[in-house]
A and B are shown apart, each in its own frame.
Chain A
Amino acid sequence: MKNKEALIYIGVGIALIVLAIELPHLVGLLVA
């Protein structure tokens, strides 16, 4: 259970880092 919670933190963390990297591309797509 504790591991599951930790994995959620890790998953959300990775998702946020990926979002940070891809944010300009996503903004560019939205603007286009």
Chain B
Amino acid sequence: MKRLLLGLLVLCSVAVAQTGVVSVERSGVPFFATIAPGQGAIFNIEGKNTGTVSFTGRVWCTIWDVTTGTREEASTSDVQLYIVKDSQETLCENEGRLCYFPSKEGTQLNPGDKITGKLKVVLGSGCSTSKRFELECAMDYRTLQGVWMVVPNSGSSETVEVAPPDAKTWIELAQIVFFIGGSGLLIYGLTRVM
């Protein structure tokens, strides 16, 4: 009976150690929500762990073509990923489209430890048509046998609109006109109330 309870305890500990949460969020106010080819967006990567495991977060991009409904992993002509650390940008491993957090080799994490990072995504010339762009993130851990495993429930994604250059021009212009006009009306209304 004692051995059974001990076995259950070990199993539960392993199960708890394997749970984690990873989130991907675009930072900043989405004033210009679209990104044109050649431009970049900064994403915040956050993960936490509840057990002692060797941890590495992997980040990559998928391109979702809204016109055809196809979804595929982004190529280097679509995107390039950079890790931003102390305002320095470093191109990621695997041809610049797969990033590892906190390091490629993996780092030992204790219960309650958090991992954070900034990722810059620069769109390549391959994204010249209107597409939706999805950044997916998952938490990996390394077993004693050295096998990489994905932490359950660690997947997370953020979607960004990719606009063609010509469309972006008039969208930006309309945004500026609406924003200035709206601000003017708001200020005028407020001064009349005062």
Q: Interface on A for B, CB 8 Å cutoff?
A: 2-3, 5-25, 27-28, 31-32
Contact = CB atoms under 8 A, between A and B. Distances in A.
Contact of A14 (B182, B184, B192): B182
Tell me the interface secondary structure of chain B in the complex.
Answer: helix
Interface of B: 29-34, 66, 130, 132, 161, 163, 167, 171, 174-179, 181-190, 192-193
B32 to A, nearest CB: 7
29 contacts: A5-B192, A6-B193, A9-B185, A10-B185, A10-B186, A13-B184, A13-B186, A13-B189, A15-B182, A16-B178, A16-B181, A16-B185, A17-B178, A17-B183, A18-B182, A19-B178, A20-B31, A20-B175, A20-B178, A20-B182, A21-B30, A21-B31, A23-B174, A24-B163, A24-B171, A28-B34, A31-B66, A31-B130, A32-B66
